[in-house]
Structures are given as C-alpha cells and as structure tokens.
Amino acid sequence: MSADARTRTEADVIERSANVVWDGDLRSGQGRLTTKTSEVLVSMPVTFASRVEDARGRTSPEELLAAAHAACYAMALAEALAEAGTPPEQLEVEATCGLERSGAGLRIASMRLAIAARYLGDEATLQGAVEAAEQRCPVSNALRGNVDVSVDARLLTDGPAPSERPTDPTRPVEV
C-alpha cells in the first residue's frame, strides 16, 4: 500500500494548539491569545483594531501568520542551503502579511518574504535554495494558491544583518 493510500495515524500528524478567549463584539471587544503547546505566548492581547489600525502593543492574526511563515521559511532555507553544501552562518527572514479590505470584507492577500543570508556561497546557490525552500516550507504550501507570496533574497557579504543596524523610527529604512 502506498503512503498516500494508507490511513493517517496519530504518529503521522504533529499537532500544535493555541486558544483565544474573546470578550465583547468585534469592533470594541478584545481577546487574549495563548499558545497551548509551548506556552511561549500567554494572554497576548488581540483586537480587531490591531488588525486594521495601529497595533499599540497588541497582535493580530496576520502578524502571527507572518511570524509563523518567517520561522518556517528560515528553517526550510537553512536546510536547503545545507543540502547544497553551503550551510548558512545566519539567515534573517522578514515576513510581511498584507490584509486587503474590500466590500466582501477582509482577506489575507499577500505575504512578502525579505531574506538576508550570510553564508559562504554564491548568489546562484542562494536563489536555488530559495526556490527549494518555497516548495518545502509547510506554511508556504498552506498559502499557495490562496495568497500571493513573493520572496526577495540577498546575499550579505559584509556588515550587519538588517535587524542589527541601529534604526531611527522617524526615517525610512535604508537597504
């Protein structure tokens, strides 16, 4: 019997869970999100306003999806680079989730991944690994066909990764 034909067992599925306790209506209510499996996030505030206005210290489903995609993609890219014989020294993956508002309501429309890679390899190897990572990243696979995913990767030859640079919130980020 092929792997596709067999019935899934509990050992085939790895589950992670989180819960939200929501109080009130959509616009004025709020929730508290807790990751149940790891307990890394405990009672994190989430509101509708944090989705469509200023976050003000609260998270949103889109921010959590971006975080999941960045972490998942970094793992997939690290593996793809290692398989190419050039394991990374450091990867920085920034994911930006785009929420579109229309007459039909809200829709997650885009996910942009910006990657800075520090490793002893060339640009061509990096681009090949980026393509391989896109195919093996479970979050990318879940989004494919529903969300426009774009990836921009660049090789860092010297200097700090983008997040290691001091930032001034009043000026645009220089790349």
Question: pLDDT in tens for each of the 175 residues of the chain?
Answer: 445 545 656 568 999 999 999 999 999 999 999 999 999 999 999 999 999 998 999 999 999 999 999 999 999 999 999 999 999 999 999 999 999 999 999 999 999 999 999 998 999 999 999 999 999 999 999 999 999 999 999 998 765 566 655 444 444 444 3
**Tell me, what's the pLDDT at 174?**
46
Determine the pLDDT at residue 66: 97
Per the rule left: phi > 0, alpha: psi between -120 and 50, beta: everything else, 43 is: left
DSSP E strands in 25-69: the ranges are: 30-35, 44-46
- The confidence score (pLDDT) of residue 90 equals 95
Q: Report helix, strand or coil for 29.
A: coil
| Token pair of 123 as six digits | 């640009």
pLDDT value for 168: 42
**Tell me, what DSSP letter sits at residue 73?**
H
What is the per-residue pLDDT for 12?
Answer: 86
Give the domains, in start order, of the chain with CATH numbers.
7-56 (no CATH), 60-175 (3.30.300.20)
Q: CA angle, corner 48, sides to 100 and 146, nearest 5? A: 35
pLDDT at 9: 64
